[in-house]
């Protein structure tokens, strides 16, 4: 890969004809593979798991580009890394494993009145993820990481998901507003979540 390509060039390739799409995806695959695979390998994963997670993340990224869910609010690398990280943490949870930095996390009191925390406290995870999915992938990942997993903003910055804590906080604020608006506009969602409480 001799020449650096901008995200806008890569997105244009992905949205273009099949041969361009293949070039764009190959470029992205080779550019970001090492960082994502290193994350999985350094967090209880093996080489095969790292490759699988990276391929799943790339497919999810491609689908989000094609569906218009990826708006370019973050860089391709940041977005791809966040998807992979989210997928890997979910896989570890399914295997009954928890990363060391997640073992001693206390609930965040400052969000006690938010609709998301009420929902999570009632253990309606599947329904929550379904609702969060309506906010778009980047909001879903940010809210799940920052509230459900209680990942501090500084860790999201350190992981390369966001370039600064302020950007992460601003994004979270916007996502929470969208979530509250969604719940306000769709009282039936609130009723679904309250049922079987």
Task: Give the tens place of pLDDT for each residue, 79-105.
Answer: 899 999 989 988 888 877 655 444 443
DSSP state of 110: G
- Sorted by where each starts, the structural domains of the chain and their CATH numbers stand as 1-102 (1.10.1740.10), 105-197 (no CATH)
pLDDT of the residue at 108: 37
Ranges of the chain with pLDDT below 70: 1-3, 97-129, 148, 186-197
Question: How far does Cα 135 stand from its chain's mean position?
Answer: 12
Q: Does residue 162 contact residue 139 with C-beta atoms inside 8 Å? A: no
pLDDT of residue 189: 62
Q: Is 83 exposed, middle or buried (0-12, 13-18, 19+ CB in 10 A)?
A: buried
* Residue (of 53, 67, 190) closest to 138 by Cα position: 67
Per-residue model confidence (pLDDT) at position 173: 87
Q: How far, in Å, CA of 36 to CA of 82, rounded? A: 9
Query: Which pLDDT belongs to residue 156?
Result: 78
């Amino acid at each position: 890969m001799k020449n650096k390509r901008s995200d806008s060039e890569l997105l244009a390739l992905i949205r273009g004809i099949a041969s361009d799409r293949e070039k764009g995806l190959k470029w992205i695959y080779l550019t970001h593979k090492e960082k994502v695979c290193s994350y999985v390998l350094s967090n209880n994963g093996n080489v095969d798991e790292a490759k699988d997670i990276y391929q799943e993340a790339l497919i999810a990224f491609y689908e989000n580009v094609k569906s218009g869910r990826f708006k370019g609010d973050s860089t391709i690398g940041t977005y791809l890394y966040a998807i992979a990280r989210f997928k890997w943490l979910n896989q570890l949870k399914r295997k009954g494993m928890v990363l060391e930095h997640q073992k001693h996390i206390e609930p965040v009191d400052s969000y006690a009145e938010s609709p998301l925390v009420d929902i999570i406290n009632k253990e309606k995870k599947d329904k929550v993820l379904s609702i969060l999915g309506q906010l778009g992938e980047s909001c879903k990942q940010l809210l799940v990481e920052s509230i459900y997993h209680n990942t501090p903003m500084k860790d999201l910055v350190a992981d390369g998901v966001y370039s600064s804590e302020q950007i992460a906080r601003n994004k979270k604020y916007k996502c929470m507003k969208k979530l509250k608006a969604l719940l306000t506009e769709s009282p039936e969602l609130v009723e679904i979540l309250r049922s079987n409480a």
